[in-house]
Amino acid sequence: MAELVDALDSKSSGGNTMRVRVSPTAPKLFLYFNIFMYSPVHAPTSLIIGLLVSNPLLAFILAFIFHLILDIIPHEPLELHNWINKNKIKKYVFCVGTDLILLITFLSILYFTHKLNLNLTILAAIIGGLFPDVIWGIDGLIKLKTKIIRDFNQFHVEFLHKIIYTKKYIPVKYVILIQLAIFVLTLCIYLRII
């Protein structure tokens, strides 16, 4: 349940100021850092798989599975959920766009510092590691309801997010710390392997 705070409302009371209870807005800085952590957390794991596996199809499948495993870790702050639910499509596009830009920036830094040797296997692993969110996003943005997308999202949301990972909204600062720790750990493992 959302925490409520006192606020003044004069619009709905005909110009007379009165106290109302509203949900606080999420601090913008925390939202931006939290957006940063979604795809970039999956990227180093996918890169590790791409390095350790020589078959592109197997790399895609393993990265896809590891994405689902990482999704079991709590990553749903209530502040972000409440923020997105107001004017959902625009904010959803903003979050996905920011996430994608930061992912491309992360991969570009690795590439231009010669820490990323793009080949078919690594590319397949990166795509596999992002694919569960692509499927989920297609349904969220354009409501493309094919049986495959509907079945996958039902498995992803109903099974993973409700049975294995109980959706527990935790304070955004803990979400950031958890995802940052995973990002740093997997990035260090990747850099150690190359």
Number of helical (H) and strand (E) elements in the chain, helices listed first: 8, 2
Q: What is the mean pLDDT of residues 114-135?
A: 93
DSSP bridge partners of 8: 19
Phi and psi (nearest 5°) for 22? Answer: -135, 160
Give the model's pLDDT for residue 80. Answer: 64
Q: Give Dmax (Cα) for the chain.
A: 70
pLDDT tens digits, one per residue of 32-45: 444 444 788 899 99
pLDDT bin (cut points 50, 70, 90) of residue 152 is confident
Which three-class secondary structure state does DSSP give residue 119? Answer: coil
Q: Does 98 or 188 have the greater pLDDT score?
A: 188
**How much is the average pLDDT of 47-51?**
96
CA 181 to CA 157: how far, in whole Å? 24
For residue 161, is pLDDT > 70? no
CA atoms of 133 and 68, how far apart (whole Å):
10
Helix pair angle (78-85, 172-193), 10° resolution = 110
pLDDT greater than 80 at residue 190: yes
